[in-house]
Amino acid sequence: MIHVEGILPSIANENKMRKIKIRAYAKLNLVLDVINRRADGYHEVEMVMQSIDLYDQLQFLPASSLVLEIAGHRLPNDERNIIIKTAKLLKAHTGFSGGARIGLRKKIPVGAGLGGGSADAAATLVGLNQLWGLDLPFASLEKIGAKLGADIPFCLQGGTVLAKGIGEQLTPLPPLPSLPVFLAKPPFNVSTALMYKNLDLSVIAHHPDVQRVVVSIQEGAYQRITENWGNLLEEVTLKRYPELKTVMDWLASLGLPVRMSGSGPTLFIFGANPDQMTTAVAKVGASLRRKGWWTYYGFLHNRGFEIIENEKRGYARGERTLSPD
C-alpha cells in the first residue's frame, strides 16, 4: 500500500475510475497567535497546524448533476454545504458541465475547531479534479480552496505546517512522529467568525511564542512544544463558555498538557507521558462522556488526505491508495 504525501496523483484516468474514495483528515493547532486585524476584516495569524488521524470519508462517482448524500449526520446537502460550494466553484473555474454523486461519511465533529469542513472541501477539490479529468495542478487547487476558507490549503498539504497570513501562507515543517493525542468536545459548537469578532487585540498582554514551537519541531525536541504553545482565541472562547474553562482547568490540575484547537470548543491533550495519557483516556474520558462530551483517542498524522481508487478491472479487486508515480 502506497500513500499520497499530500500531493496529487498524476494517474487520473476517468475511463478506468468508477469510484474515488478520499479520507479527509482533521487538524489541530499546536500554537495559534493572532497578529492584527486587516482592513478587509480578516485577521493575520501565525500558527502551527497539525494533521491527526481522525477523518471524514468522501466518495465520488460520475453523475449528470451534483448530488450530495450524507451518512451519520443531519447536515444540509445543498449550497449551504461547503462540499457543494466547492464543487460549483470548481465547475465555474473550469467550465466543466457535468456532475457527480458525492457521498460523505462524517466522523469529524461539526463546529469543533478541527477543520472538518475545510478537510471536506479539500477532498472535494482533489476528488473531482480526478473524477472529471481536469488535471489541474496542485497550486491551482490551493488557490481555488483559499477562496472558500483559509484552512483549505493546509488541508490539501497536511502534516506539520507553519501557517501565516490569513492561514494560506504555508511553510512545511519536519513531520512530527505519530504521537498520541486525546480530544474532547463539549455538546455545543462554536462560531469561528464570532470568536474572531469578539477578539480585542488591544487588551492582549501576552502572545504565544510561535517561533519557539517551530524551533522545537525543527530540532526534534517534541517535549518542548508544550512549554511554549498557546492559543490566543482561548481568551475569547473560554470567557464566553465558562464550562469549557472549568474542564480545561480541571485537566491542567491533573498535570495534563491541554490546549484548545482553533476557535474551539475542542480541547486536546498532547505531550503527556504514557501514564498521564492512560489516565486521560480512561478516567477523564469516561467522566466527560457522562456529561455528554464527545471524546477521541488517536495519533498525529503526516498527510491531509488519502486517495483510494476502486477499479473495475478484471484483475483488480478491493482498494488501493494511489501514488504520484
Active site residues: 27, 151
Is 261:244 a contact under the CB 8 Å cutoff?
Answer: no
DSSP 8-state assignment for residue 57: E
DSSP 8-state assignment for residue 151: T
Query: What CA–CA distance (Å, rounded) separates 13 from 22?
Result: 16
- Crossing angle for the helix pair 116-131 and 138-146, to the nearest 10 degrees: 140
Query: What CA–CA distance (Å, rounded) separates 257 from 21?
Result: 35
Contacts of 31 (CB under 8 A, 6+ apart): 47, 48, 208, 209, 210, 213, 225, 228, 229, 230, 231
Is 33:207 a contact under the CB 8 Å cutoff?
Answer: yes
- With the C-alpha atoms ordered 166, 172, 176, 180, is the resulting torsion angle positive or negative? positive
Is 114:108 a contact under the CB 8 Å cutoff?
Answer: yes
Q: Cell numbers at residue 200, please?
A: 480585542
Is 124:86 a contact under the CB 8 Å cutoff?
Answer: yes
